[in-house]
Structure 1
Amino acid sequence: MLKITPHLGILVVIVSIAGLWFPLLGYFLLLVFATLMVTSYFRGRWFCGNLCPRGSFNDFWVGKISRNRKIPNILRSYWVRIPIFMLMMGFMGYRLLSTQGLINQIGMVFVIMCLVTTTIALVTGAGISPRTWCTFCPMGTVQNLIGGSKYQLKTDESKCINCNKCEKVCPMQLDVHTNNDKPDCIKCGRCITACPTKALAFKA
């Protein structure tokens, strides 16, 4: 992860709460959307593990109160993720059409979406695991579909000693040390740091 990553969580709190009084803060989400769309083409879900304010919020804030349970596999299924994506995008689209193009009202739509999704992330993160929301996040799903095969984590099997330290630190609870594709890897690099034999690396 980047040095700035642990400090980005404050941004989602500012937009979710202060945005109720200053709706223009909602337009920050457009910057987030644009950035993740661009980076996903080259590095998959790299944005999620390095620049996502909600990801930072989940890891470094919600993580302090999380029960740290296993994330249910059903939440990773596209049978769950695609309907959630369509529901949330449809709701946001409907709300945007009802604003009649008024700048403040458009901003408020984004603020409400941020507040709702942050609340879901907080509840699921505290009750299950910090990154539970990220397993079915609509924007994470989009990045998965666009660039899930890019910048894959690879294991040098000649160096791997099967200590499983990499899997213990993976916030997405992935099967890290195999060479299977991991489209939902958020490229945070914690597994690489934890590996005692330097068997892990990202490959373009």
Structure 2
Amino acid sequence: MKINNNFNRWIWLLFIVFLILGLINQSFGLLAIICMISPIAAGFFKGRIWCGRYCPRGSFYDQVLARVGKEGRRIPPLLKRAWFRWAVFVSLMAFMAYNLFRAEKTLAGVGAVFYTMVVMTTFIGTVLGYFFSPRSWCKICPMGTIAVLAQRGVKEPITLDSERCISCGKCARFCPMEIPVHSFKEDGKVLDPDCLKCGVCIKSCPVKALHFGTGRKNAA
């Protein structure tokens, strides 16, 4: 089941425009800073909602990459391990810092570093998404990792109505991050910090037990 909100449906086109502009003039690579800061800033208020709804590359994975490859692809277990997540974070940040240090101190020089980082990580994410779950990269995305820390818990979690929930597990099967949503039945809220607030679990629930906020309504 695809993520299906208004921004996520089309914002991947901006990602393609960014890649084209970066080929023309690498100063445009500086635009990547927006997508580095935004998930962290949003994390302080609403958790990883940027990743699930507004991230152009995440939209590309949902709307394009999800359409190719086999059905039922899963996230590799290694990517779910905290130590591996942090190893990726440290490695990529060190790689970026080293290249920024060596780069020509001009808009084009610095922009080229950010553009290269985007292209490199997108290639890795696309390969992972083709052979495994389309959102595999999001488990180890450095900015997503910091967003998890920024929220200091779970901000504005999806609410689970324990009286309605029948523990069928359908929500977990469709979750792009493979979160066992129904396991939070007793808590009444989906407390996994990697929840993208994408609404897929809400749409997949056959008894309408999941919803945003306190009202009983489906995601738009």
- Which TM-score band (shorter chain)? over 0.9
Q: CA deviation at 1:15?
A: 2.5
1:60 equivalent to 2:70? Answer no
What's the TM-score once normalised by structure 1's chain length?
0.92
**Aligned to 1:77, which of 78, 81, 98?**
81
* Correspondence 1:182 to 2:186: no
Conserved 8 A contact 1:45-1:140: yes
Q: 1:203, CA displacement in angstroms? A: 4.7
* Structure 1 stretches of 4+ moved >3 Å: none
Q: Distance in 1 between matches of 2:87 and 2:131?
A: 23
Structure 1 stretch displaced more, 73-82 or 49-58: 73-82
* Equivalent residues of 2:40, 2:144 under 8 A apart: no
Structure 1 spans left out of the alignment, 5+ residues: none
1:91 maps onto 2:95 in alignment: yes
**Offset of 1:17 from its aligned partner?**
4.2
Deviations 1:110-152 (A, max 9, x none): 1101100110111000011101111111111111121142222
Alignment of 1:84-163 (within 5 A): 84-147=88-151, 148-163=153-168
Indicate conservation of the 8 Å contact 1:15/1:114, yes or no: no
Aligned partner of 1:170 in structure 2 is 175
Task: Find the counterpart in structure 1 of residue 206 from structure 2.
Answer: 196
CA RMSD of aligned residues (A): 1.8
Contact 2:169 2:180 in 1 (8 A): no
Percent identity (aligned): 37
- Corresponding residue to 2:50 among 47, 52, 56: 47
- AA matched with 1:188: C
**What is the DSSP-based 3-state SS (H/G/I as helix, E as strand, rest coil) of the residue aligned with 2:181?**
coil
Cα offset, 1:25, TM superposition = 1.7
Aligned residue for 1:7? 10
Q: Deviation digits for residues 62-119 of structure 1, max 9, x if unmatched? A: 1111334221222111210111111111111111111242110111111101100110
Give TM-score scaled by structure 2 length.
0.86
Q: In structure 2, which of residues 37, 41, 45 is the aligned counterpart of residue 38 of structure 1?
A: 41
Bigger mean CA deviation after superposition, 51-60 or 141-150:
141-150
Q: Is the 8 A contact 1:153 1:182 kept in 2?
A: no
